[in-house]
Amino acid sequence: MNDDWRLKGYKGSFYGKIFVFQEFHSTEKNDHEHCEFCWKKITDLPIDETERSGYAYYDEKSKQSHWICQPCFNEFKQKLNLKSEK
């Protein structure tokens, strides 16, 4: 059993999905996202303790983007079989 708090709610939903490393760009409707694991804010706004880029996957079915910050992606990529395209 893994006791890492960041994985408590993860149910394997990203298995086989391909994430793209990219900078976040604010829109009128959305000025930030959160890492799916640690909940760190990902934004292009000048705010302390945020990430400006991360790994993103767009789910066509739900019409939602899912973001993972670079530190979490690097830490969990082998364990969770996360895939990326640069």
pLDDT of residue 3: 83
Q: Could you tell me if 54 and 68 are in contact, meaning their C-beta atoms sit under 8 angstroms apart? A: yes
pTM: 0.91
10 Cβ partners below 8 Å, 6+ apart? 36, 37, 80
Pick the CATH number of 16-85 from 3.40.190, 1.20.950, 1.20.120, 3.30.1740: 3.30.1740
Q: What is the pLDDT of residues 31-80, one digit of tens each?
A: 999 999 999 999 999 988 899 999 999 999 999 999 999 999 999 999 99
1 pLDDT more than 80: no
> Domain segments of the chain: what residues?
16-85
Q: What is the mean pLDDT of residues 7-21?
A: 92
pLDDT of residue 16: 84
